[in-house]
Structure 1
Amino acid sequence: MYFDGAANIYGNGLGAVLTSPEGRQFPLTIKLGFDCTNNMAEYEACLNGLQVAVTLGIKELDVFGDFALVIYQATGEWQTKDSKLIPYQKYLTQLINKFDKVRFHHLSRDKNQFADALATLAIMVKLDCGIHVQPIRIETKINLAYCLNVENEMKIHPWFHDIKIYVKSREYPLEAMENDKKTIRRMAMNFFLSGDVLYKRTFDGILLWCVDSGDARKILEEVHEGICGTHANGHTMAKQFQRHGYFWLTIERDCIEDVKKCHKCQVYANRVHAPPQPLHNLVTP
């Protein structure tokens, strides 16, 4: 069992994680509705975690915490002199006697991050009293779910594949409905095919090269934060791409989303001095 308590200006909370020998985890997070010191919050975390372990019928338990006071007072190496903590230690002794074997271990804070995060979550999140939240499932992924928010495409065909085929041979996709065919015909009027390259024709007759998601990702990365990147805003980037002769359907939206996800843009951008709440209209007599 890993436990941790938290007490700050936002409130008091605790977090504990019970891990079975098979690796199953049972997280526990509680927001304390009374004032307490940090020492009391740590004891609350340990005691509530032990209570759950007793309820689950656990007989042997290893307890890990990053707060030395609770760990060494539980093992008897340190004495309890604070009057607020004496009842906690007595109740802790009663809970320990309900197990066949309990071992307490002190570990560094960086190895107790999950319990610490649960305690912080209990303080920061505002929920109605007694509400039950399903356990959070945490996964590790090595592949990006998106890349700069460029629309996902099929691995075989780019987004302009149907338009290109229609312009070239006047053929529709096999699964296309009548409305789909009308849409393809309408969109194809603004495209021009030269050899194997498809161009988007603008209202003033300029041809823009249609790029797929792979090329769009490279262009976004290079223009925004590459060697010559200026970290321009989304609208400016979209205009730059079109001036350089590139086009894809979601160009403006992707540029705006890319800027929102750029860390440097968020840190060094000019702050807009806007009021935290809408201003009230003042009615003058």
Structure 2
Amino acid sequence: MSSLEVDEVLFSYLAITTYAISFVLIRVDNGVQRPVYYVSKSLHEAEIRYLPLENAILAVVHATRKLPNYFQAHTVVVLTQYPIKAVLRSADYTGRVAKWGTILGAFDVRYMPRTSVKGQVLADLVAKFAEGPEEIKTRPGGMDEKSVGLISAQPISSWTVYVNGAVNQQGSGVGLVLISLEEVIIEKSLRLGFSVTNNEAEYEALLIGMAMVNKVGGKTVEIFLDSGLVMGQVRGELEARDTRMQEYLSQVRCIQANFEFFKITHVPRSGNAHADSLATLATSSAQNLPRMIMVEDLGTPTQGTTETLQVNQISSARSWMDPIILFLEKDILPEDKSEAEKIRRKALRFWLSEDKKLYKRSYSGPYLLCVRPEASEDLLEELHEGICGSHTGGRSLSHRAITQGYWWPGMQKEAQEYVRKCDQCQRFAPNIH
């Protein structure tokens, strides 16, 4: 193992297998990667059913628990192909992912794409020799290293297929989006003329997508779908008990044998919106007629005939929100080390939307829109003496602002000061003798 210098930046590699995870910490010495420490963990019970992305985050959390001194004294750059940073800052994940994000926020951990496999070899070796559970030492039949989807595997150029099935009162249909090796996008929407369940529609979409790639001669394919049941049965993690599910699974196995590389990955429904819209389109089609739908982009709103006045927006002064927005958007921290540490810790409690609006995270309610200092007084005025204002007290006024979905630091103190300055409250408030 190699000794470290003060404030030296460390790098790390991850390896994820079916029954084990490993984390290797290295330092760069004159262009040579030297190992510092490594940890590994065997997965048990529910951990085996985690998604590979969740296991990647778990590997980093496990390393912070085993090697806290390294994470507290150094900046650690995690080299991985998984979008860990995007997941931890996303608003779509709760539960254990949100908990892990809070743990990792206490350390200076950064994430970068993996460009070298020098230290990755050591991480793969540690994960390979980690013992798995005794009751499931054998891998399910028909699954090889390619279908497990190890992080250490080299990227393979393959067809990318997004599939989804939809069942509603109007009928059932499937949607497919195929991306060829030349990045040509093929879209397909099929309406099913027979009665199916949601899981059967997902299987139909999967089979049609595999058959289309096989028909055009594709030998490598990666399929994305949002059905956890279908993915678990195809991977062998779940048992197909229903007779109809067993028949679908056997058909998948037959077509899968024609591919040299086959991988199936679960994505959230938001990540499969394209295929989902095509499947919904099939169920809403009323007639069996060939049709072509033109989809174009409208960059600007349609201008009316009435004249409008041009309003120039004056940029507001810097506030407490700007450093947090800058860090969440561009990973830029202040030069002062102590101030940078404060911003990094505060940023865990906030989320930046796509339209660059800052929200305060809430674990028991909706996210709260952050208000700039120059807009807080106008908001208090509207809530206190506006159309629905009732001239409430300071504590009630700040609580009402929260229930309306707004937040800013020191809001309770500002609300109390505003009530003291309200002329009507001072004139008509009950006198206490």
**Structure 2 length normalisation: TM-score?**
0.33
Q: Which has the larger radius of gyration?
A: 1
Bigger RCO (CA 8 Å, 6+ sep):
1
